[in-house]
Structure 1
Amino acid sequence: MPQDERRPYALPRNPTESERLNAQHHVYVKSLGYVLHPRIAASLPAHRVEIADVATGTGAWMIDLASELPYAKLVGLDMSKAQFQSSVPSNCELQLLNILDPIPQEFQGRFDVVHIRLLIVGLTGEDWNTVARHAMQMLKPGRWFQWCEADFQNMDVLQTKGGSSRAAHEQLWGFARGVMQKHGKLAGEVGRLGEIVRKAGYQNISEDLVSSDRWPEMRREASVVEHGAVAAIAKQFAANLKEEHTKSEQDVEDLCKRCEEEVAEGETYWRWNIKVVVGQKPQS
């Protein structure tokens, strides 16, 4: 199934981005303290478990969990196979699925867990409700949904040394955020994620909220991961949406270089909140 061109993906699909996604996975697991939410893990039977990882990308989350649950079958699903790995553990597989399309019969009512992470740069408006409803269709009655998102709407640029500059970081993010918001993204949905899941009909909902700089030793790694995403988004917009804005590709490249100087000068870093919403499909 091809990528949905009506909702263009804001990030590239190439080896560099795949490396960034794998590093990003480590940042999120370290920040949260788990791969699979402890409430869900405690509820799973010790056999015949099937778990779907929607928008799997490189499959990093699925592959990590495969070693924790060797008895489980894990299915990584994505609208594009461009970042699928050539080999995965024996209890994993990769398939194409656009979660915004009607769910195929083969996936309906099949899974004990449906996991989703970081769709924020791909969804607009009603898409968020569609994702929650379609994930429920994939679940067995009484089973669990885990949705992890980043609150990029309220992302900050911070300094560890007073008096240093962060102007380039703010300009780069202001440009990328402005174009995304013009296309209906970053409209505050992460703040309403619990309500979106509740509206879809899930029960026993809980929310975790942590900061990307929860562990000071992770600030640099998390910032490198996020800067890679912001820079890639800005470069894509500058190259592909020239008629919508005034910044050129060279302007963005210059901002990225200035960001590197700011990091060297004052330990400037990106900070955002990470939210995980867990919900259970009703028994009937």
Structure 2
Amino acid sequence: MTETAVQEQITTAITNIGPADVEVDTSYENDSTYGDELSSYSASLTSSVLEYRHENGRRYHKYRDGAYLLPNDESENDRLDMVHEMFLLLLHGKLYLAPIKNPQRVMDLATGTGLWAIDFADQHPPAEVIGCDLSPIQPTLVPPNLKFLVDDLTSDWEYESNPFDFIHARYLCFSFKDIGKLVKQCYRSVKPGGWVEFQDWDAYPISQDGSLSGTDLEKYYNEVYGAFEKTGVEVRPGIKLEQWFKDAGFVNIQVEKFVIPYGVWPKDARLKKVGAWAQIQAEASGYESVAMAVLTRFENWKKEEVQILANKASADARRRDIHMMFNFYVVYGQRPEK
């Protein structure tokens, strides 16, 4: 399937189908592959923030060096933009699921390339929108009601005196060691009656038919995610979000679980489109992006060894007889009115 064909296929879709309900499209089995307010740790855009760490052919943030182990170069930024489109497809074009009304002050945590914040600001012109991230990689031409801050969200916040109506976070796995603390910080920084929504993965893959067992894909995830877990970084936040929200004190908590297949193997046309996007973003250096820093810095792997591991995983991901998928969770809750 050409990229143009995939793009033409990809339209808005949504699914809450559990893994056991995903039927394989057996017609593909004969083919072997398919193609003004800052926290105390905020930083202005000074030369120190704009410095980068270059390593193994990739670029990483320099501010709070080592706090985030994925790159922030153009290749990774392009991949993250693709992930944004995949999530829009998964959520039927919706940026969020929380029942917010007329938000006036909104924050997007770990905003990355800023696409979610840009889209939200466009859709809600009266709202003041703030996007926070360690890296100043966001565009400069943005809606007038949006601003980006360079901030270390793991440090203590100072937003309680001017709280938000809505706080959003998406795709924090591989980024934080204590997401439960982050959820509590959100609780303190949202207005009574305000909403907080986290969208995140259980990043360990599954296959309902056992087709993932013994593959290079399985080896890749065991090696890479095992290394992340040794450093204390959270790789399965999705399955823990509900409890973190309860512990923080939120009420009216809602949990919605989605499945994201990798590839166009599902028989269901909508899941096939979601899987196509997932495959495209993974092929855009996704396997190497996630693995390179954590394996070379903490597990003494050489660059070439990581590339071989990533290439083998990528080759397996193109096999039609491997039916890999991930669970993805959207959890939102409300701070009590009183």
**TM-score grouping bracket, smaller chain normalisation:** 0.7 to 0.9
2:166 to 110, 113, 116: 113
CA contact (8 A) 1:164 1:262 kept: no
Structure 1 stretches lacking a partner, 5+ long: none
Counterpart of 1:199? 247
Q: Of residues 235, 247, 250 in structure 1, which corresponds to 2:304?
A: 250
Q: Secondary structure at the match of 2:99?
A: helix
**Post-superposition offset of 1:163:** 8.5
Take 2:277 and 2:95, find their aligned partners in 1: how far apart are those partners?
Answer: 22
Whether 1:220 and 2:276 are equivalent positions in the alignment is: yes
Cross-structure match for 1:138: 189
Unaligned runs of 5+ in 2: 1-42, 44-48, 50-62, 262-269
Are 2:311 and 1:279 equivalent residues in the alignment? Answer: no
Deviations, residues 10-64 of structure 1 (Å, cap 9, x unaligned): 21111111111111111112112243434424xx13xx61211111011111112
CA distance in 1, matches of 2:255, 2:211: 37
1:17 and 2:76 correspond: yes
**Alpha-carbon displacement from aligned partner over 1:213-264 (angstroms, at most 9, x marks no partner):** 36212212213324643321212234333xx34x422122123333343344
Distance 1:54 1:104, change over 3 A: same
Confirm whether residue 156 of structure 1 aligns to residue 156 of structure 2: no
Q: Report if aligned partners of 2:207, 2:324 keep a CA contact under 8 Å in 1.
A: yes
Deviation at 1:185, TM superposition (A): 2.7
In the alignment, which residue of structure 2 is the partner of 1:175? Answer: 223
Map of 2:119 onto structure 1: 64
Supply the distance in 2 between the matched residues of 1:163 and 1:171 (Cα, whole angstroms): 13
> Does the C-alpha gap of structure 1 residues 104 and 238 become closer, same or farther in structure 2, counting only changes over 3 Å?
same
1:165 is displaced (CA, Å) by 9.7
- In structure 2, what residue type is equivalent to 1:115? H
- CA shift for structure 1 position 85: 1.6
**Post-superposition offset of 1:157:** 6.2
Amino acid at match of 1:135: C
* Aligned positions of 1:17-36 closer than 5 A: 17-36=76-95
Distance in 1 separating the partners of 2:154 and 2:188: 12
Q: Alpha carbons of 1:252 and 1:270: their partners in 2 closer, same or farther (altered >3 Å)?
A: farther
The residue type equivalent to 1:117 in the other structure is R
The match for 2:288 among 231, 240, 259 is 231
Contact 1:129 1:196 in 2 (8 A): yes
Q: Is the 8 A contact 1:108 1:137 kept in 2?
A: no
Q: Please give the root-mean-square deviation of Cα atoms over the aligned residues, in Å.
A: 2.7
Q: SS where residue 74 of structure 1 aligns?
A: strand
Are residue 53 (structure 1) and residue 103 (structure 2) matched? no
Per the alignment, in what secondary structure is the counterpart of residue 77 of structure 2?
helix
Whole-Å Cα distance in 2 between the matches of residues 87 and 269 of structure 1? Answer: 41
Aligned equivalents of 2:211 and 2:239: distance in 1?
Answer: 32
Length-normalised TM-score, structure 2: 0.71
Q: Secondary structure at the match of 2:166?
A: strand
Identity of aligned residues (%): 23
Does residue 96 of the first structure (1) align with residue 150 of the second (2)?
yes
* TM-score normalised to structure 1 length: 0.83
- Residue in 1 that maps onto 2:140: 86
